C-alpha cells in the first residue's frame, strides 16, 4: 500500500507538493479551509470582471529550472500566453515629473545616464551587478538531495553570479544605493521610494530586473486564478484528493512523529507523513501548540517587522482604458485617502492588457486596481465596483 501524505493548505505550495507526491507514488490528501484552492494566488469575480490579487510577474516564464517546474506542475501549458512589459513601473513624483523602470537593462542604463549623467559611475556599477547575475542557474534539487557534483557544476556555470549575489543578497536596497553613492536628488527620490523603504534585498532587486531583461519573468494571461486552477487540474488528474472547506485544528504527534491531523469537525485523518503548507504562525503556534519552536523562531515571531498592510481597491470599468504602462506608482507620502495616511504613495494597476479579466460579451472594458500602502492596523481586502462607469487615471 502506498504511503499516505496529508498536506495542510491548498495554495501553490500545497498543490505543488501534492502533484510531486503523486508523481512519486504517494497517496495524497490536501486539506484546504477555503472553498477554492490557490491560497493567495487568487482573484475575485464580480459581474464578469476578475480582480487579481497575486501574480504580476512570474520567474521562469521562458526558460530554466523554474520553467521546467511550472511545466511539470501544469501551471504553464503550451497555449499559456505570456506578456513581457517593456516598462516594469512608471513613477510619478509630486512635482509631476516621471521616472521609468525599463525591463531591458541596456535600455534602462541608457535612460538613467541620460537623466542623471552626474551618476554615471554608480549607474554603470549597478547595471554591471545586474549583468553579473545573468549566468545564475537555479538548482534542480532541494538542498538535502544535492551532491558535491551539483555544487561544483554551479560554481563552474554560475560562479560570477554567486559571487555578486553573495555580496548583496543580505544587504537592503537602501544600503546598496547608499554604497553606490548616487548623488542625483531625482534618482535618490525614486530609488528610495520604490525599494528603499521595504527592507527589499539588493540581491533580489538585481535578479528581478535581470530575469525581466531575459524575458523570463513575464505575466501569464489570465492571472492568478487560472494559474491556480491549472495546478488543481493537474493534481486531480494524477488522482490526488482535495478536501475544501475543511480546517485543520491540530497535528497529532506520537513518539516524536506526525501521524495525522485532527479537523475542526472532530474527524481524524491518519497519515504516514504530514506536510504543513499553511502559514508558519498557524502551523507552529496553532496546530502544533507552540511545542516545537526554537529560540530563533520565537525571536522572529516576537521581533521581526511585519509586512506593511495594503488597501486593495478594484474597479471594473465599462469602457476600454488604453494601457501605456501597466503599473504606475504615484509618490504621495503623507497624503490622505479617506482616513488612510499614505506611507509612500499608491500604485495604479491597469489590467487592460489582459482581455480575459473583463466581460467578453460587452464592448471593450478594463479591470484596474489601486493599492494604498500604509502602516498601522491590518486592513481587509475589499472590492469596490463603480456604478456610474466613471474612472480615475493619472
186 and 275 housed in the same domain? no
345 and 322 housed in the same domain? yes
How many CA atoms lie less than 13 Å away from 23 in the CB half-sphere?
Answer: 12
Average pLDDT of the chain to the nearest whole number? 86
- Cβ atoms 137, 60 nearer than 8 A: no
Range ranked top by mean pLDDT from 108-117, 206-215, 370-379: 108-117
Higher-scoring residue by pLDDT: 136, 233: 233
156 and 253 housed in the same domain? no
Burial (CB count within 10 angstroms: exposed 0-12, middle 13-18, buried 19+), residue 69: middle
118 and 195 housed in the same domain? yes
Would the pLDDT of 216 be above 80? yes
Higher-scoring residue by pLDDT: 387, 96: 96
Name residues whose C-beta falls within 8 Å of residue 59's C-beta, 6 or more positions apart in sequence: 66, 211, 216, 217
235 and 170 housed in the same domain? no
Q: What is the pLDDT of residue 394?
A: 34
Higher-scoring residue by pLDDT: 237, 157: 237
Q: What letter would DSSP give residue 305?
A: P
Higher-scoring residue by pLDDT: 120, 344: 120
174 and 241 housed in the same domain? no
How far apart are alpha carbons 333 and 393 in whole angstroms? 18
Mean pLDDT throughout 137-162?
72
Q: What is the pLDDT of residue 53?
A: 78
230 and 247 housed in the same domain? yes
38 and 108 housed in the same domain? no
Q: What is the pLDDT of residue 155?
A: 66
The answer to whether position 129 is within a domain reads: yes
Q: Tell me the pLDDT tens digit for each residue of 2-45.
A: 899 999 999 999 999 999 999 999 999 999 999 999 999 999 98
How far apart are alpha carbons 206 and 172 in whole angstroms? 11
Alpha-helical regions (H) of the chain: 12-23, 64-73, 105-115, 120-132, 148-168, 173-180, 185-191, 202-213, 224-237, 280-281, 295-303
User: Considering its fold, how many domains does the chain have in total?
Assistant: 3
Residue that is last in its domain, among 302, 337, 362: 302
Q: What is the pLDDT of residue 370?
A: 66
The answer to whether position 255 is within a domain reads: yes
The answer to whether position 385 is within a domain reads: no
Residue that is last in its domain, among 214, 248, 263: 214
Residue that is last in its domain, among 168, 197, 214: 214
187 and 287 housed in the same domain? no
The answer to whether position 30 is within a domain reads: yes
The answer to whether position 36 is within a domain reads: yes
The answer to whether position 391 is within a domain reads: no
Confidence of residue 391 (pLDDT cuts 50, 70, 90): very low
Closest among 366, 40, 14 to 225, alpha carbons compared: 40
The answer to whether position 93 is within a domain reads: no
The CATH number that applies at residue 237 is: 3.50.50.60
240 and 328 housed in the same domain? no
Q: What is the pLDDT of residue 383?
A: 34
Under the phi-then-psi rule, with left for phi > 0, alpha for psi from -120 to 50, and beta for the rest, what region is 283?
alpha
- Cβ atoms 317, 389 nearer than 8 A: yes
How far apart are alpha carbons 321 and 152 in whole angstroms? 51
284 and 245 housed in the same domain? yes
Would the pLDDT of 230 be above 90? yes
**Owning domain of residue 131:** 104-214
157 and 227 housed in the same domain? no
Closest among 179, 177, 197, 199 to 187, alpha carbons compared: 177
Percent of the chain having pLDDT more than 90? 59
Q: What is the pLDDT of residue 143?
A: 77
Q: Tell me the pLDDT tens digit for each residue of 314-361.
A: 888 888 888 889 999 999 888 887 777 888 888 889 998 998 988 865
The answer to whether position 61 is within a domain reads: no
Confidence of residue 157 (pLDDT cuts 50, 70, 90): low
Amino acid at each position: 500500500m502506498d504511503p499516505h501524505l496529508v498536506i495542510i493548505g491548498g495554495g501553490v505550495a500545497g498543490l505543488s507538493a501534492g502533484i510531486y507526491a503523486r508523481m512519486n507514488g504517494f497517496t495524497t490528501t490536501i486539506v484546504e479551509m477555503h472553498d477554492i484552492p490557490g491560497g493567495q494566488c487568487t482573484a475575485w469575480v464580480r459581474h464578469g470582471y476578475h480582480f487579481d490579487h497575486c501574480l504580476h510577474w512570474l520567474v521562469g516564464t521562458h526558460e530554466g529550472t523554474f520553467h521546467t517546474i511550472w511545466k511539470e506542475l501544469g501551471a504553464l501549458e503550451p497555449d499559456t500566453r505570456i506578456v513581457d512589459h517593456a516598462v516594469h513601473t512608471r513613477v510619478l513624483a509630486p512635482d509631476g515629473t516621471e521616472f521609468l523602470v525599463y525591463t531591458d537593462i541596456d535600455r534602462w542604463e541608457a535612460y538613467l545616464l541620460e537623466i542623471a549623467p552626474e551618476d554615471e559611475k554608480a549607474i554603470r556599477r549597478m547595471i554591471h551587478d545586474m549583468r553579473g547575475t545573468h549566468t545564475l542557474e537555479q538548482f534542480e534539487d532541494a538542498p538535502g538531495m544535492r551532491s558535491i557534483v551539483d555544487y561544483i557544476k554551479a560554481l563552474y556555470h554560475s560562479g560570477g553570479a554567486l559571487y555578486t549575489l553573495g555580496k548583496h543578497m543580505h544587504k537592503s536596497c537602501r544600503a546598496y544605493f547608499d554604497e553606490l553613492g548616487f548623488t542625483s536628488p531625482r534618482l535618490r527620490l525614486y530609488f528610495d521610494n520604490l525599494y528603499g523603504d521595504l527592507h527589499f534585498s539588493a540581491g533580489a532587486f538585481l535578479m528581478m530586473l535581470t530575469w525581466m531583461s531575459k524575458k523570463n519573468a513575464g505575466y501569464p494571461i489570465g492571472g492568478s486564478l487560472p494559474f491556480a486552477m491549472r495546478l488543481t487540474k493537474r493534481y486531480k488528474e494524477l488522482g490526488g484528493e482535495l478536501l475544501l472547506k475543511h480546517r485543520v485544528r491540530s497535528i497529532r504527534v506520537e513518539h516524536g512523529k506526525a501521524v495525522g491531523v485532527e479537523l475542526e469537525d472532530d474527524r481524524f485523518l491518519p497519515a504516514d507523513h504530514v506536510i504543513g503548507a499553511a502559514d508558519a504562525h498557524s502551523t507552529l503556534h496553532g496546530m502544533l501548540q507552540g511545542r516545537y519552536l526554537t529560540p530563533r523562531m520565537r525571536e522572529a515571531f516576537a521581533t521581526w517587522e511585519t509586512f506593511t498592510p495594503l488597501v486593495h481597491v478594484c474597479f471594473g470599468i465599462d469602457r476600454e482604458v488604453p494601457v501605456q504602462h501597466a503599473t504606475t506608482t504615484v509618490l504621495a507620502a503623507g497624503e490622505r485617502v479617506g482616513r488612510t495616511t499614505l506611507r509612500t504613495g499608491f500604485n495604479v494597476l491597469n489590467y487592460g492588457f489582459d482581455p480575459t479579466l473583463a466581460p467578453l460579451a460587452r464592448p471593450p472594458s478594463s479591470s484596474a486596481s489601486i493599492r494604498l500602502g500604509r502602516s498601522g492596523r491590518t486592513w481587509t481586502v475589499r472590492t469596490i465596483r463603480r456604478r456610474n462607469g466613471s474612472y480615475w487615471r493619472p
